Structure 1
Amino acid sequence: MQNFTFSTTKTIVCEAGAARLLAESCRAAGAGRVLLVTDAGILNAGLLDGVLPGFDRSDLRLGIFDRVEADPSSATVEAAVHAARALGAEMIVGFGGGSAMDVAKVVAVLAHPDCRQSLDELYGVGSICGPRLPLLQVPTTAGTGSEVTPIAIITTGKTTKAGIVSPHLQPDTALLDPQLTLGLPPKVTAATGIDAMVHAIEAYTSAHKKNPVSDMLAREALRLLAGNIANATHRGNELNARSQMLLGALYAGQAFANAPVAAVHALAYPLGGHFHIPHGLSNSLVLPHVLRFNASAAAPLYAELAPLVMGGQCVTGSPQQKTGQLIDWLESLIVELGLPSRLRDCGVTEDRLPQLAEDAMQQQRLLVNNPRAVTEADALAIYRAAF
């Protein structure tokens, strides 16, 4: 039997309308003062309208920090920590996409009364010391899986991001309410859905910590995501499709939290840093080209995934041929979902490709998980293929 360790969020609630019970969940955790970390778009879209009355009826004191931006900065994290400390927060709730949930994770650590670390001391793997505040996550997109991962990504400079990876960031509770995702725009639905699919694909082929449980979750995630992403994108009010996408994203998050992602993410991060391309779209832009690069090493595994992803379509031939069919299908899906498929269509200029490749090589935390070693020349060739 293979030796492995698998960990995930302790409690998962999946129920349409469950967000209305958020105050009850916080009270059950023993919190009297709660900071909810979100973004202005969530407030403006009215996604908290069904949540706030529960706090009004309770004896809980609720603070709302709504200044999280896409690719949240270290300054935003520090401001949220200040808000939590000023409130005397006893619990942190992340409510939104991956950015809000990532900020919530870090705030739960830094706002704990016994924390003696600074934000700069948390970056890297296993750098967090001491306890954190109770942490509950409510995703409003089906993509990042941050509600079940011990990872937070923070923008540390004008074009750079850094990861914080620690068991201390593993949330206590994930609350999945598909009704919160009904209003997502088609392109956001598509991009975040592709992000979740990438999590599952990279977890299944990860060179480190791949294990039977993460494999099982990755396969089921891909079945759910590939089977529902078109419906969720083009017929966004279909609650069942939205539910399956949320569950698929959670499964994918559980998978890659234990079998880490690799080159697709490593090459996606510089696109976000330099050109502010949303993370899911950045993954989508490089996905087919990284898979082609990896095929010589990972074709047998990609071939196993092809029938799951392609549904009822016939997948035949050698592992290399099945891999080719999988990549072709994914490229067609990206077009069908209305996402751009070339870097040049997203404002990337050819003269910047060498800088992107150089920056991608700084993501060694991710590149070591790739089934095939990636050099700077390889990264440049992949960006050129995607251009």
Structure 2
Amino acid sequence: MTPFTFNTTPSLRMGAGLARQLGEIVKPICGENILFVTDPGMVANGLVGPVVNTLRAAGLRVTIFDQVQADPPEAIILQAADMARHVSGVVGFGGGSSLDVAKLAALLAASGQPLAEAYGIGNAKGPRLPLVLVPTTSGTGSEVTPISIVTTGASEKMGVVSPLILPDVAVLDPELTLGLPAHVTAATGIDAMVHAIEAYASANPNNNPVSRALAVEALRLMGRVLQRAVDTPGNIEARSDMMLGSMLAGQAFANSPVAAVHALAYPIGGHYKVPHGLSNALVLPHVLRFNAEAAPLAYAELLPHVFPQVSDTGVGDAAVKFVEGMAALSRACGLPQNLRDVGIEKEALPMLACDAMNQTRLLVNNPRPVDEAAALAIYEAAW
């Protein structure tokens, strides 16, 4: 067996209604003076108020930072870190962007390290403040990943990758995802499935049996319930399976990193502010088709776990049917299918292809090499 490393969040707590016990969970970990990191949407939809009340009822002093933006820019990270210098611990509450900001606020406040020096793999310096993460979508898996993504400049994304930013505890309450709009459920769900697919097929030398097993279970769970979660937003069983699947996929790709789907999705989000999950969904089938021509085995192996009702005649056929099944699932969930549907002009495709080449951290993990010409062809197919 090839040597590998597997890191994950040391403690996970999952259960419907667990957010109502958040004060009891947070206090022994974070102390009595908390920075609560979230976004304006969470405040507006009424989720923040009751949760903050549970923290205060446990005797905690809570300062709220609710200015997180999607694809957070450096300025937001630095604002949150400045506020975190005056507290004993940090709670991140929301989607992936809020959790990513909370991770870096906890790191930068305690370490004093400049953000610019933390970018890359293994460059972050400790210590960090105590940290609890509470996801409210089933998509990014950020609660179990040692990764925070930051928008630098106008559109480029960079990552801080270090086990230091794994939280002390992740609290998963599927009730927090009840009633999410269908398009958000669909896009975040496809995003989570992409995490598992790319982790399973990753060419990274740390691709390992633990990550692959987690990816398979994540896809088995989410493949059978994603459309149900989209169509019946109050279905707690479907929401629970999606939240568990998203977390398992996060553990998988945290250790067997993602590849070209994410590399090609990032410029779409950076330039056109398309949500991350939807950006992934738009390029997913086209990247998978490109990969399946040269490396079909991984996708063939995944077919019976995600689409057990589909028969095949061999590895090549199974890989094709897996790719088409994922494309059909995206369509059935009501997501846009083409780049032009989200306002991207055909003339912009060469620029996107050029920018995708900056994502070397991800492209090296793809099972088939992707150069700029290949990236352009994938974008053209997606357009």
TM-score, normalization: structure 2?
0.98
Which residue of the partner structure matches residue 45 of structure 1? 45
CA shift digits 1:253-302 (9 cap, x unpaired): 00000000000000000000111110000000000000011013321110
Paired letter, 2:241: Q
Pair 318,151 (structure 1): closer, same or farther in 2 beyond 3 Å: same
Which residue of the partner structure matches residue 242 of structure 1? 239
Which residue of the partner structure matches residue 10 of structure 1? 10
The answer to whether residue 165 in structure 2 is matched with residue 169 in structure 1 is: yes
CA distance in 2, matches of 1:70, 1:309: 30
Which residue of the partner structure matches residue 106 of structure 1? 104
Paired letter, 2:97: S
CA shift digits 1:41-69 (9 cap, x unpaired): 11111112331222232321111100001
CA distance in 1, matches of 2:13, 2:112: 33
CA distance in 2, matches of 1:180, 1:228: 17
Match of residue 253, structure 1, among 250, 255, 277: 250
SS in structure 1 at match of 2:20:
helix
CA distance in 1, matches of 2:306, 2:158: 31
Residues 127-166 of structure 1: matches in 2 within 5 Å?
Answer: 127-166=123-162
What 5-or-longer segments of structure 1 have no aligned partner? none
Which residue of the partner structure matches residue 202 of structure 2? 206
CA distance in 2, matches of 1:363, 1:323: 26
CA distance in 1, matches of 2:178, 2:225: 14
Instruction: Tell me how many residue pairs correspond in the alignment.
Output: 382
Larger deviation, residues 39-48 vs 346-355: 39-48
Paired letter, 1:80: A
Per-residue deviation at 1:216?
A: 0.4
Per-residue deviation at 1:30?
A: 5.0
The answer to whether residue 276 in structure 2 is matched with residue 276 in structure 1 is: no
SS in structure 2 at match of 1:29:
helix
SS in structure 1 at match of 2:295:
helix
Contact 2:132 2:168 in 1 (8 A): yes
Which residue of the partner structure matches residue 185 of structure 1? 181
The answer to whether residue 236 in structure 2 is matched with residue 232 in structure 1 is: no
Larger deviation, residues 271-280 vs 323-332: 323-332
Contact 1:148 1:250 in 2 (8 A): yes
Paired letter, 2:264: L
CA distance in 1, matches of 2:337, 2:301: 25
**Among the aligned pairs, what percent are the same residue?**
55
Contact 1:19 1:50 in 2 (8 A): no
What 5-or-longer segments of structure 2 have no aligned partner? none
Contact 2:30 2:130 in 1 (8 A): no
Which residue of the partner structure matches residue 193 of structure 2? 197
Per-residue deviation at 1:15?
A: 0.6
Which residue of the partner structure matches residue 62 of structure 1? 62
Per-residue deviation at 1:2?
A: 3.3
CA distance in 2, matches of 1:212, 1:337: 31
Contact 1:37 1:103 in 2 (8 A): yes
| RMSD value, Cα | 1.0
CA distance in 2, matches of 1:128, 1:3: 24
Which residue of the partner structure matches residue 337 of structure 1? 333
CA distance in 2, matches of 1:137, 1:330: 30
SS in structure 2 at match of 1:111:
helix
Contact 2:228 2:238 in 1 (8 A): yes
CA distance in 1, matches of 2:146, 2:57: 32
The answer to whether residue 20 in structure 2 is matched with residue 23 in structure 1 is: no
SS in structure 1 at match of 2:63:
strand
Pair 30,349 (structure 1): closer, same or farther in 2 beyond 3 Å: closer
Larger deviation, residues 201-210 vs 76-85: 76-85
CA distance in 1, matches of 2:238, 2:112: 44
Per-residue deviation at 1:320?
A: 1.2
The answer to whether residue 302 in structure 2 is matched with residue 305 in structure 1 is: yes
CA distance in 1, matches of 2:198, 2:121: 19
CA distance in 2, matches of 1:176, 1:284: 24
CA distance in 2, matches of 1:150, 1:136: 13
Which residue of the partner structure matches residue 356 of structure 2? 360
Which residue of the partner structure matches residue 218 of structure 1? 215
CA shift digits 1:135-160 (9 cap, x unpaired): 11100000000000000000111111
